[in-house]
Copies of this chain bind each other. A is one copy, B any other.
Amino acid sequence: MGPKGTWIGLVAPEKRRLRNLKAGEALFRQGDAAVAVCRVDRGRVRLVRHLEDGASVALHVANAGETFAEAALWADVYHCDCVAEAALTTVTMVPKAALLDALEGDADASLALARGLAAQVRELRARLEIRNIRSAPERIMAWLRMQASGDPPAVRLERPWTEIATEVGLTHEALYRSLAVLAHTGRIARGNRTVTLLGPAGQARG
């Protein structure tokens, strides 16, 4: 996706802090003081916001090499939980104040930061767009198209469907049913952990 983490190096290594997390362990909780911006070194973390009724929303998923919680730079508290997804997850925490100091003198790094944020804006907008599709099958098709790559557009599933269901805003049951419909209609073909998009005049790209 390009150089997203350029600005991390601005802060002297001894000022950064490394954290190792087990799967499910939290790096911070919503409401905690926003003290640092982070990067995933290994594994994967997920930013989750909890609703009052107990449901939760995955706001962001950051894989190895990606940065997250940039928005915390100008916020007092974190507004979501950060939990590790993979068993061996390592995160670099960059103290907010130090980073802000460094950024103030470095236009390139600040621009890189802005660029990363712009990418997030795009991603979030795309997700919002998907949520506006009422029909479950169409919504899933849209999601698949967004994820697909290759000439016969295909998607390799790295996570369970059940997780994808919540990401697109459906129950897993509805998701499975829709998948079945799409397969019967011949719009997709399901492999082991793969989905291939079929259909003439179908492969529009976002």
Contacts and interface: CB of A to CB of B under 8 A. Distances in A.
Contact of A128 (B52, B127, B206): B127
How many copies of this chain sit in the oligomeric assembly?
A: 2
Interface residues of A, number: 47
A97 interface: no
A49 to B, nearest CB: 5
**Which of A60, A106, A111, A122 is packed against the most chain B CB atoms within 10 Å?**
A111
Nearest to A115: B74
Top 7 closest A-B pairs, CB basis? A110-B110, A117-B117, A124-B124, A114-B114, A107-B107, A57-B132, A71-B118
24 contacts: A51-B142, A53-B138, A55-B132, A55-B134, A57-B132, A59-B129, A70-B118, A70-B121, A71-B119, A74-B118, A74-B119, A79-B125, A79-B206, A103-B111, A104-B107, A106-B107, A107-B109, A110-B110, A114-B117, A117-B120, A121-B124, A124-B128, A127-B128, A128-B128
Given A73-B114, A103-B114, A110-B113, 13 more contacts: A53-B133, A57-B128, A59-B129, A73-B118, A74-B119, A79-B122, A80-B125, A104-B107, A106-B107, A107-B110, A110-B114, A124-B124, A127-B128
